[in-house]
Structure 1
Amino acid sequence: MTNIGEKSGDGSACDGQPSAGGAPREPSGLSGQKAPRFPPDPAREQALVSKRVVSDTIMCVDGMAIFLAALVAKWAYIVAFLQHSPETGPYAVVGAVGAVIAVAAMRYQGLYDFDLLSETGGQTRRILIGLVAAALFLIAVGYLLKISEQYSRGWFVVWFAVSVVAVLAVHAVTTQVLQWLGGLGAFARNIVIYGSGDIAESVIRRVAMSPMNLRVVGVFDDLPRGQKTQVPLSGGLSDLISFGQQRRIDEVLIAMPMTNELQIANLVEQLSLLPADIRICPSATAFRIPPKKLLDYEGLAVLELERRPMDGWAPIVKNVEDKVLASLLLVSLTPLLLLIALAVKLDSRGPAIFKQRRHGFNHEVFNLYKFRTMYVAEDGPDITQATRKDPRVTRVGRFLRKTSLDELPQLFNVLRGDMSLVGPRPHALSHNEYYSTVLARYANRHKVKPGMTGWAQVNGYRGETDTPEKMRGRVERDLWYIENWSVWLDVKILAMTPFYGLIGKNAF
């Protein structure tokens, strides 16, 4: 934080304190008086570089690099190596389609988020996934249209390799450039604050401690004579306007309560002549739950504190993912399911399939299916979790629970729409009621369908949850999954499940 309460270089007092003549300075009027001059500051007069423009530019460069890689591969492999001269047009078309698909896949993963582009980690995986997705798409289309034999397989491999090197090189260079520009302050937003009370003080303190690219360059207020300010001032409203006309301001933050709507409306009206965002912070109290965004309800400002997960296309995509994969798994695992059912029946008396009521999406109760692993079938108000060497567990049941094969019948729950392949694991009704009173936000797990496996399970939170601490760790990871869901995250969890989510020391 710099330049708080700075004075202009020509001796004008801009902090509300007595001037050189000893008399207190009154705020300059909007007309009829000469406003103080603020000397230019080269470090802050540079144009603000748009993060969106940077991200979109890098995305276009990636697409162009992939397209050009197709032409380079055609020349290097087919012309130079094989010494053939086929037409360039067909290869250019495939190169353009592949570039669009690859860039779309990388964008879907969030590769072009500016904060990620500025970091050295997390980009390589997204780039490789995007290029692999494009390659698989082109292979599938070529096979279905029966045109794959018209293109050289060697060219395709060389193209993929050149694309990987080119895109990785582009991002290695751009990351260094963005970090260099960030160090110069090219992406820092210049903020001026109107207000000098506890709200302004809180804003200045939090901005100073925050890693956000924000920089307070001045604080202004019009206080009655004799009233003390809690922060150094650079002038009044007229000085703020003059400051904004002579220096670059990206945002004006009104730091005052919403009690005087007329005063705030007048402020906004007069400040609107500046080419800057105008925002308001009405309270010095921090939100325990940070607001997602500000909405406009026919002129009424509404803060969005929570957002329903998986909106738009996300529920449709996840539903298709569940139905397709569950159907394929059921078809391929049918012999195994029949063998397990037979083993359960021969091992002990009772049904092969066990049903237990669980809470699902939006706390709706459904019957969860499992292979029976115990001599008893509990589904009442008091259910005791299985423990190590539990005498209720059968011989076959012990193996099924250790390997999580007892969960396979839940594929039918997925097809019915009660569950998803990936999501927070559903708990027995009695356990739900208990932990809802013990753990804050526990019930938020039911904002999505429960899953056969989940982020908590592949991170070691599987099996008995006999203490609130264990359940708290599971809940934290479940809520993180809900907030960060993506198709690629589901794919990652499904791929990790056989290694981390099925066999483990906590399963018994």
Structure 2
Amino acid sequence: MMDYLSAGDTLRASEAKGLLQRHSSHLGMAQRHLDAILIIGGALVMGRFYSTAIGLEWQVLYGCLGWILYRAGAGTSNFYGSWRVHTLARELSRVGMLWGLVIALVVTLALFAFGRYHHINGFLLPWGVAVGLGMLFYRSALRVCLHRLREMGFNIRRVAVVGCGTMADRLIRDFEAAPWMGFRVAGQFVTRHTLQRESDSPSERLARLREVQEVIDYARSGKIDRLYITWGMNREPDIRKLIEALSDSTVSLYLVPDLLVADLMYSRIEPVNGVLTVSIYDTPAQGPSGSLKRIEDIVVGALILSLIAIPMLVIALAVKLTSKGPVFFKQKRYGLDGRSIEVYKFRSMKVMENGDKVVQAKRGDDRITPVGAFLRRTSLDELPQFINVLQGRMSIVGPRPHAVSHNEEYRGLIRGYMLRHKVKPGITGWAQINGWRGETDTLEKMQKRVEFDHEYIRQWSLLFDLRIIFLTIFKGFINKNAY
């Protein structure tokens, strides 16, 4: 084994500085309580300053409603998991975005459900700002305290990595590059079997040769808290031996997928009548996450439709009065799980191509009407798709829907192309705000778009959706590739 810690790092030293480590699971519980106190208690405190504008019953209602919505969003985004794996900046941005969404939803309810317009400036916005600042402050303070304790040697996890290769090297580099996570690399095991299959220069690694039994003996010695196994599936017998042998130890054992698994689509572990299975190609649009995304679509979609109703009426009149044909163009597209759906757009062309052969619009295309050219450049032709969102056919955020003929063409040319249909198509998407929109006149352009679609599905969360919606305001409407 290649040692990184001195021989004096014993189990006794680990126990002496492991007070926070043994109680780290309570930090998540403490966060939940602090958030509840800030949100509900903050509503009551702010109510004392705005007692003439809002009664006690409304303070309690808004406070409880805010906590329920925030807790629902936090549950799907793993807010209360380990703090070791996220930077402070990322955590604060996630908290700010989620709380901002909660306030937006509460304000929407106050306007359209309760009809309490005077509650917004008189209570909701000051309460939202105060609670948001409180959340950011206490989380920052806790992080600073934890980082300081880890620098002093408290709350440290000693880890070891079994195997060599890309995943093992990446793990070690990440641990050593981020000491704030509180992980200290105790060493790396490279067995003879691994050396023969994965190392190009045996002489450089002879000092690290070990048998599987030596890995087991070292793990049982109490010098490490976590053991990460990066062997591939070809080492199943040795992996099983390690798992069984260390079942009577206190070491936390982790299996790290190899490069094959790194390319999986939203992989997760799912029990089937007691048998653990690993999903290969799956969708985040199910269970609580799917319900939350649907609520997001309904609330945000209804709010946006109420704001754009008059502009849509003006556009409809402009389309009807300046060219012959219907106002809307109904396109056949693939929806969730590849099922055929109808997608609405304002008609921007003189022709209505929707068959087996669809020619993408090009710059200066003579099929495009003058009004249609403006609508396409500004993406206003997409506005009727908010109706599709409320119908449940589309989502506000997701991979853009392609023509059926294009789907059939590219599914045979691009590996994993149809996996983009594991979620509902969206009005805006991760690929579009990164500049991959418009005509895909080369295979490379479509490959890049699909790559970003896959990244969106793998990383989906409510906050990721909100980030994309926010960026769409600045990057999604007008683009050099939109024509």
In which range does the TM-score fall when normalised by the shorter chain? 0.7 to 0.9
Local SS of the residue matching 1:449: coil
CA shift in 2, pair 1:254/1:269, >3 Å: farther
Counterparts of residues 9-48 of structure 1 (less than 5 Å): 42=13, 46-47=17-18, 48=21
Deviation at 1:344, TM superposition (A): 3.4
TM-score, structure 2 normalization: 0.72
Local SS of the residue matching 2:353: coil
Please give the alpha-carbon distance, in whole angstroms, between the structure 2 residues aligned to 1:143 and 1:477.
36
Counterparts of residues 30-179 of structure 1 (less than 5 Å): 42=13, 46-47=17-18, 48=21, 52-66=25-39, 69=42, 77=49, 97=64, 100-101=67-68, 104=71, 107-108=74-75, 110-113=78-81, 114-115=83-84, 118-124=87-93, 126-127=95-96, 129-130=98-99, 133=102, 137=106, 162-179=130-147
Deviation at 1:210, TM superposition (A): 3.2
Aligned residue-pair number: 460
Identify which range, 168-177 or 245-254, moves more after superposition: 245-254
Structure 2 match to 1:473? 448
Counterparts of residues 256-335 of structure 1 (less than 5 Å): 261=237, 268-278=243-253, 287-289=261-263, 292-294=267-269, 302-322=277-297
Counterparts of residues 165-314 of structure 1 (less than 5 Å): 165-183=133-151, 186=154, 188-191=156-159, 199=163, 205-211=169-175, 213=183, 215-217=185-187, 219=189, 230-232=206-208, 237=213, 240-241=216-217, 244=220, 247-251=223-227, 253=229, 261=237, 268-278=243-253, 287-289=261-263, 292-294=267-269, 302-314=277-289
Please give the alpha-carbon distance, in whole angstroms, between the structure 1 residues aligned to 2:137 and 2:348.
54
Deviation at 1:391, TM superposition (A): 1.6
Specify the structure having the higher radius of gyration (Cα). Answer: 1
Please give the alpha-carbon distance, in whole angstroms, between the structure 1 residues aligned to 2:419 and 2:206.
41
- Contact 1:98-1:134 at 8 Å conserved across structures: no
Structure 1 match to 2:373? 398
Local SS of the residue matching 2:139: helix
Identify which range, 264-273 or 498-507, moves more after superposition: 264-273
Deviation at 1:374, TM superposition (A): 2.3
TM-score, structure 1 normalization: 0.69
Q: Which amino acid aligns with 1:452?
A: I
Please give the alpha-carbon distance, in whole angstroms, between the structure 2 residues aligned to 1:144 and 1:384.
46
Please give the alpha-carbon distance, in whole angstroms, between the structure 2 residues aligned to 1:131 and 1:344.
37
Structure 1 match to 2:199? none
Please give the alpha-carbon distance, in whole angstroms, between the structure 2 residues aligned to 1:307 and 1:2.
38
| Cα deviation 1:294-320 (Å, max 9, x = unaligned) | 556677664433332222033334445
| Cα deviation 1:416-448 (Å, max 9, x = unaligned) | 543333322112233323333443332221112
Runs (5+) with no aligned partner, structure 2: 194-202
CA shift in 2, pair 1:180/1:306, >3 Å: farther
- Contact 1:188-1:215 at 8 Å conserved across structures: no
Deviation at 1:254, TM superposition (A): 9.3
- Percent same amino acid among aligned pairs? 30
Counterparts of residues 338-377 of structure 1 (less than 5 Å): 339-377=314-352
Structure 2 match to 1:440? 415
Identify which range, 112-121 or 373-382, moves more after superposition: 112-121
- Contact 1:326-1:414 at 8 Å conserved across structures: yes
CA shift in 2, pair 1:258/1:170, >3 Å: same
- Contact 2:348-2:369 at 8 Å conserved across structures: yes
Deviation at 1:56, TM superposition (A): 2.9
State the superposition RMSD in angstroms: 5.0
Q: Which amino acid aligns with 1:208?
A: I
Please give the alpha-carbon distance, in whole angstroms, between the structure 2 residues aligned to 1:99 and 1:346.
47
Please give the alpha-carbon distance, in whole angstroms, between the structure 1 residues aligned to 2:134 and 2:64.
17
Please give the alpha-carbon distance, in whole angstroms, between the structure 2 residues aligned to 1:67 and 1:327.
27
Deviation at 1:480, TM superposition (A): 2.8
Q: Which amino acid aligns with 2:26?
A: V
Local SS of the residue matching 1:305: coil
Structure 1 match to 2:429? 454
Please give the alpha-carbon distance, in whole angstroms, between the structure 2 residues aligned to 1:494 and 1:254.
37
